[in-house]
Chain A
Amino acid sequence: MTALPPPSAKKLGLVIDLDTCVGCHACVVSCKEWNSQSPLGAPLADLDAYGAAPEGTFLNRVHSFEVTREAGPPVVVHFPKSCLHCEDAPCVTVCPTGASYKRAEDGIVLVNEDICIGCGLCAWACPYGAREMDGAERVMKKCTLCVDRIYNETLPEPDRVPACVKSCPAGARHFGDLGDEDSAVSRLVAEREGFALMPDQGTKPVNRYLPPRPRDALPEFDVLAPYLEPVTEGAGGFLGWLDRTLGKI
């Protein structure tokens, strides 16, 4: 059903720390791996993998931006991007078949691949580029928040988080309930002033991003400078005599 459910109390999502992400793409690879063996949907396609123009379907991608500051040198920010599981998800309401839906119990946005007609309208409606049509299956693919891991009782408890969160070597990805003000992720967002992407699109994303912390300013290099002042023309005393004498030779 593509009508959105009333806002759920539980809002599962990710908090991504732009301060600690090192841009290694481990989350990209682990996401592709997990979702290519999941019984939840068809594997994520790779096309022309060994040819001249390889391309593939991914649910998570890492962009790298350069931010030019007013003062100080520019900073590089690695920026992972996947579905933000929006509360007012436009991708869901535009879907003509009911394949796209938002779960009433935890807010996860999913696609039922068996009834998706591959019209692509949901991908057009998403402002964030979080949906990709699978190159081989011709159905819509998107982040499932690893719904087949987080509730999976056959996995050991610590593994019941999305694959990207589990694999991040920098601990830049956090998973939890953003509907609960006291959850670890909500507190992190409050502490670090986490923000939503493109708020003006009115999608009300659940996922939050934590801004890079202010960089340390480099100290002025003038601690030793006074001692390194060049000897001037008018130097007097012994140094002056030496300078004049050497100059004559």
Chain B
Amino acid sequence: MHPAPSLILFTVLSGLGFGLMVWLGFGALVPLGWVGFVFWALAYGLAGGGLLAATFHLGHPERAWRALSQWRTSWLSREGVLSIVTFAVMAPHAAGSVFLDRPLPVLGALGGGLALLTVFSTAMIYAQLRSVPRWHHWTTPAVFMLAALAGGGLLAGQVAAAGPLFALLAVALALHWHMGDRRFAAGPDTAESATGLGRIGKVRLLAPPHTGRNYLLREMVHVVGRKHAARLRLIALAAGAVVPAVLLVALPAGHLLGALAVLLHLAGMLAARWLFFAEAEHVVGLYYGRR
């Protein structure tokens, strides 16, 4: 699949923002006044910025509000609705903490739960697609939610909790890659079942339907840059999860160390998300003789 920068930014930034909201909502950290303002601005800024980035992916961003209507069937719609509801439910808790020194723990906890649900629905936009075997798996929501919780915990200064969460994230990433590498080949879809010609023999594309590029190839048969995948996986794993975990567990906590861990994690997750898209193969590739 095409690794669109808008979608990479959307999933990484909004995941981080909603992850921070989970910690702030459940009261792991209750910053008041100016400190509170910085934390809440960061949470809203990351989550909102990510959503804004997502609209750049749309052909008609001016109609984006229409995406809120089909929450009964569509995970994309649910994600939109949930993020707005989360923002709204969290607002009194945030405003109370910042301006009145009066946090509202019940609304906060409700908002924290909604924030986590939002991240889950973001992951399900991808995990629901049976046409992309690598995504259609429980490791997809596992990676998205652990990344949000670990990254958010780091931003919220929850050093003790974030360390183990980063370790779990590393495991989830490794599993997602390891199992993902085998899913397409292990699945039932082949050029033979795609064309139904398996009853006659082995199927090979002789002539493509068009000599130029098209939307399908650009969007779903993205094979550019996959050769760097192995190296990028190591970088993503190390920067996104392993090094932050080691830093947090092994060294004394401090702002400078925290900032370093955040930057490393962010860079690592951007690389991991690039891989998430670029390495995902769509079954339509079977009609084009490539994945």
- Does any Cβ of B come within 8 Å of A204's Cβ? no
List A contacts of B206 (CB < 8 A): 64-66, 76
B188 at the interface (CB under 8 A from A): yes
What is the minimal beta-carbon distance from B201 to any residue of chain A, in angstroms?
A: 4
Contact assessment for A67 and B189 in the assembled complex, using a CB-CB cutoff below 8 Å: no
- List B contacts of A117 (CB < 8 A): 58-61, 63-64, 66-67
Q: How far is A96 from B208 in the complex, measured between Cα atoms in Å? A: 32
Closest chain A residue, CB of each to CB of B199 = A211
Q: Which residues of B contact A195 (CB under 8 A)?
A: 196
Which one of A65, A132, A209 contacts B205 once the chains associate, using CB atoms below 8 Å? A65
Interface residues of A in 1-33 (CB under 8 A from B): 1-4, 18, 28
The reply on B227 being an interface residue by CB < 8 A is: no
Task: With both chains docked as a complex, state the minimum distance between the C-beta of A15 and any C-beta of chain B, in angstroms.
Answer: 13
A126 to B284, CA, bound (A): 8
Contact digits for A52-69, partner B, Cβ 8 Å, 1 yes 0 no = 011111100111111111
Interface size range on B against A: 35 or more
Min distance, Cβ B170 to any Cβ of chain A, angstroms: 28
Check A138/B196 contact, CB under 8 A, given A63-B287, A74-B201, A121-B125: no
**Residue of chain B at shortest CB distance from A195:** B196
With both beta carbons as reference points, the residue of chain A lying nearest to B74 in the complex is identified as A96
Central interface residue in B69, B72, B205, by most chain A CB within 10 Å: B69
* A96 close to B193 (CB less than 8 A): no
Contact among A1, A61, A94, A137 for B76, CB-based, below 8 A:
A94
Which B residues are CB-close (under 8 A) to A176?
A: none
- Contact (Cβ within 8 A) B284 A127: yes
Interchain nearest-CB distance for A50 vs B (Å)? 13
> Which residues of the other chain, B, contact A202 by a CB distance below 8 angstroms?
130
A97-B67 contact in complex given A67-B200, A138-B59, C-beta closer than 8 Å: yes
Q: Are B64 and A209 in contact (CB under 8 A)?
A: no
CB contacts (< 8 Å) of B125 on chain A: these are 121
Q: Which of B48-98 contact A (CB under 8 A)?
A: 57-61, 63-64, 66-70, 72-77, 80
* B203 interface residue per 8 A CB criterion: yes
Residue A41 lies at the interface, judged by CB distance under 8 Å to chain B: no
What is the CA–CA distance of A121 and B74 in the complex, to the nearest angstrom?
Answer: 10
Q: How far is the CA of A133 from the CA of B67 in the complex (A)?
A: 17
Contact B209 A62 (CB under 8 A): yes
Does B213 have its Cβ within 8 Å of any Cβ on chain A? yes
Q: Which residues of A contact B68 (CB under 8 A)?
A: 96
A81 at the interface (CB under 8 A from B): yes
| Cβ contact within 8 Å between B220 and A67 | no
Complex Cα–Cα for A55 and B197 (A): 29
A94-B128, A129-B220 known; A67+B215 contact, CB < 8 A? no
**A199 proximity list for chain B (CB < 8 A):** 193
Mind listing 28 A-B residue pairs with CB under 8 Å? A54-B212, A56-B214, A57-B215, A63-B287, A65-B205, A66-B203, A66-B205, A67-B201, A67-B203, A67-B204, A77-B197, A81-B209, A93-B73, A94-B73, A96-B70, A97-B67, A97-B69, A98-B66, A125-B128, A126-B284, A127-B283, A128-B284, A129-B216, A132-B215, A138-B59, A139-B60, A200-B187, A211-B199
Interface residues of chain A, those whose CB is within 8 Å of chain B, are 1-4, 18, 28, 53-58, 61-70, 74-77, 79, 81, 90, 92-99, 115-121, 123-129, 132-133, 135, 137-139, 195-202, 209, 211-212
**Chain B residues in contact with chain A, CB under 8 A?**
1, 57-61, 63-64, 66-70, 72-77, 80, 125, 128-132, 187-189, 191, 193-197, 199-210, 212-216, 219-220, 282-284, 287-288
Further 16 A-B residue pairs, CB within 8 A, beyond A57-B215, A124-B220, A129-B220: A1-B70, A53-B213, A58-B210, A63-B288, A65-B203, A68-B204, A69-B200, A75-B201, A94-B74, A94-B128, A96-B67, A117-B66, A119-B59, A120-B57, A126-B131, A197-B195
